[in-house]
Amino acid sequence: MRLLISNDDGIFALGIRTLANTLVAAGHEVTVVCPDRERSATGHGLTLHKPIRAEQVESVFHADIQAWACSGTPSDCVKLALGALLTHPPDMVLSGINHGSNLGTDVLYSGTVSAAMEGVIEGIPSVAFSLTSFASQDFQPAAQFAQALLEQLAAQPLPAGSLLNVNVPAIPEAEIAGVVITRQGVRRYFDQFEKRIDPRGKTYYWLAGEVLEEIPQPELASLEAFRLKTQELDWDWFRQMPTDVQAIRQNYITITPLQYNLTCASSMAHLHQRQLYHRPTQS
């Protein structure tokens, strides 16, 4: 399989090196195009008002991997790769392995998820991978899972217009409880802006804060019991699905399907029922 890999942690991040080297060793054709430095929490930003530069990098990855370091955002990297650097389109776009989780509403800010989403926008199946720890240096279990997942996706491709957001618990492989399909949870942060003064006497602010637990939802007594429930997709079934935040707490690898179409179906039905818009009548 021909793979394009990007990230938001930068060209020298251990996560992307582990993922790329593992996949090329498994026989895939791998190209890496990623930021030349950390670009975390850049969302789906694009560079429009200055040039984007890309330099080929050697001696960082396996010798069979072509790699570029790009001055732009993660989304820039994927756009540049598809539009200028690659001679053939990839079969799949991968992003990560990210240092730290991308759960719940993190996906709205995540450069990791945005790089994968850029692939989906261009019609290419995509997956974002994250390891749920900033401190852990053991990315190999996540890379091995990525390799196994790609084999399944090769046999059963993703539906058009969707990507998979994968989070892997940062625990020994033997302690991982399993793999579960989840819905996106709600994760909020208690933002704090620390006010400081620079050496020239100018005021600046540093964004800090800490993550809050997601909005309380009924906990499932057992994810295994959930898997045995009916596969008929209705709203009650959907609401009982575990969220990515819930499942990670139970040491599961989470796979959350995402899409770039943000239309809210429930609100559309609600607005339609209330008839807030009336078509003008002709006199």
Q: pLDDT-based confidence at 160, cuts 50/70/90?
A: confident
Q: pLDDT-based confidence at 244, cuts 50/70/90?
A: very high
In DSSP terms, 3 is beta-bridged to 30, 92
Q: What is the pLDDT of residues 90-106, one digit of tens each?
A: 999 999 999 999 999 89
According to the model, what pLDDT value does residue 276 have? 62
Q: What is the pLDDT of residues 114-137, one digit of tens each?
A: 999 999 999 999 999 999 999 999
Beta strands in 71-133, from DSSP E residues, in sequence order: 92-99, 126-131
- Residue keyed to tokens 């020298």: 12
> Which amino acid does the sequence have at 252?
Y
Mean pLDDT, all residues of the chain: 87
pLDDT: which is higher, 18 or 192? 18
Q: Which of 70-79, 177-186, 274-283 has the highest mean pLDDT?
A: 70-79
> Which amino acid does the sequence have at 176?
I
pLDDT at 235 over 70: no
According to the model, what pLDDT value does residue 221 have? 44
Which phi and psi angles does 164 have, rounded to 5°?
Answer: -110, 130
pTM for the whole structure:
0.85
Beta carbons of 95 and 115 less than 8 angstroms apart:
yes
For the ranges 58-72, 173-187, 201-215, which has the lowest average pLDDT? 201-215
At 175, list the tokens: 């302690």
Give the CA-trace dihedral at 137, 143, 144, 146, to 10 degrees: 150
Q: pLDDT-based confidence at 228, cuts 50/70/90?
A: very low
> Which amino acid does the sequence have at 46?
L
Q: Which domains does the chain have, with CATH numbers?
A: 2-183+238-266 (3.40.1210.10)
Q: Is the peptide bond before 97 cis (omega within 30 degrees of 0)?
A: yes
- Residue keyed to tokens 């930068």: 10
